[in-house]
Structure 1
Amino acid sequence: MAEICDIEVVVVDVLGTLVDERSGLGAAIRDAVPASDDASVDELLTAWQDHVEREQQRVVQGHRPYVNTEIIDGEAAQRVADHAGLADPAVIARLATAGQRLPPWGDSVAGLQRLAQRFPVLGLSNAGRTALLRLNAHAGLRWHQVLSTEAVQFYKPAPEVYQLAIDTAGCPPECVLMVAAHAWDLRGAQARGMRTAYVQRPAGDPPASSDVFDWRFDGLDDLVTALTAR
């Protein structure tokens, strides 16, 4: 296990790691299409998330010019509306902003506060600048600084995103810890030389057997306790 005394800055993913993206989007879909049963909501939610993931990867791969998450979420909301036969423009417009009203996990707000008492803490999110501002306010997330991938016109796991965090931290990458509930995110950070900590979440992307991350924790509280113990 890696030593923790040389970590100077902690970078934390937001979507899925600090906020419950799946349940938040699912609740918004249920509100927009109240006649839907659980299976229908799950189907619509999968259509939303598949679209977002596909379009972000198209940007990373150079197959689509960069557009921020407000554009992509708007497209996803329209896909849901088309599938569900939803035609009310006001309801579709509100659904398009569902990603700005995601609930925090139970340990996120207090965990960030504890962590920030010991380390400079950066948020690093695929969410666009405006969406991220509103999401942080809704979820009660407080940062020393939060970074949107919109600043580099890419999405994770593009290397430019992690370099943005390293440059902002102002120290060598091996002194910067990336925290996420997604193994794919941590692999991207690791490829840039950052240290890595996986935090388990119900809807995260767990490490594969081949992944070698510096730490693995059952929740944010465990991570904060480990990092602040010295």
Structure 2
Amino acid sequence: MAAIRDIEVVVFDVLGTMVDEPGGLRSAVREATGRSEATAADEFVALWRRYREQEQERVRRGHRPYAGTEVLDAEAARLVARHAGVSDPGTVARLATAGRRLPPWDDSVTGLERLARRFPVIGLSNAGRTALLHVNAHAGLRWHQTLSAETAAAYKPAPEVYRLALDSAGCPPQRVLMVAAHAWDLRGAQSAGMRTAYVHRPAGDSPTGSDDFDLRFDGLGRLVDALTGGQVA
């Protein structure tokens, strides 16, 4: 517990950490394709996510001008639709906005509410501003502030994205805790001088043996307990 007593602001990744992105995309793919079998849906979701990660990496490397997640999701949706044999324009258009309708993990809403009573909480996401607005509304996530990487025209783990949170926090980086289910995200936060807490999620990116994060938790509730001393209010 002593390692986190001096934290002033808590910053959360959103996609995958606070909302079940693969689950939300899976539901949207099943709705669009009419195919209920799990294997087909999982393959289409994997195709979607691979495409978006590939394009985000191209942006990070300067091989493509910045394009927000809604642009990339629309491209990914069209790719999935072609593979699934879906041609109806309205169906494809709705599929393209699947990234706005992602369900929260079971402990996200209550955990965030508890923590927000004691700390300023910031959502820091690669999701574009409009997508992030809808994600938060759909999932019922109530932040003190949300920040989109779109403002920096970059994608995490680019340092300028973490700088958005640090500038808003208004305190030294070592007093800001970054929470994520993705080890790659936490490594980026560490490089920016932030403290780090890994929270396990089924769709996350687990730490390796060489990762040295400040804290690790099985769920959000345990993190909140550690930061608040287990107090409800």
TM-score where L is the length of structure 2? 0.97
Q: 1:73-101: CA deviations, max 9, x gaps?
A: 00000000110111000000000000100
Counterpart residue type for residue 8 of structure 1: E
1 CA distance for matches of 2:27 and 2:90? 17
Say if 1:2 and 1:214, in contact at 8 Å, map to a contact too.
no
Could you say which residue in structure 1 is the equivalent of 2:96? 96
Partner Cα separation in structure 2 for residue 108 and residue 45 of structure 1: 23
Separation in structure 1 between the aligned mates of residue 203 and residue 40 of structure 2, nearest angstrom: 19
Q: List alignment gaps of at least 5 residues for structure 2.
A: none
Moved beyond 4 Å, runs of 4+: none
Secondary structure class of the residue paired with 2:19: coil
Q: 5+ unaligned residues in a row in structure 1: which ranges?
A: none
2-structure distance, mates of 1:2, 1:204 = 26
Q: Is the 8 A contact 2:13 2:123 kept in 1?
A: yes
- 1:115-152: CA deviation from partner (whole Å, max 9, x where unpaired): 00010000000000000001100000000000000010
Q: Counterpart of 2:228?
A: 228
Aligned partners of 2:35 and 2:41 also within 8 Å: no
Tell me the equivalent position of 1:138.
138
The aligned runs of 1:1-230 (5 Å cut-off) are: 3-35=3-35, 37-229=37-229
Secondary structure, counterpart of 1:3 in structure 2: helix
The secondary structure found in structure 2 opposite 1:72 is helix
Task: After TM superposition, give the deviation of residue 3 of structure 1 in Å.
Answer: 1.9
Report deviation, 1:2: 5.7
Q: How many residues are matched? A: 230
Percent sequence identity over matched residues? 67
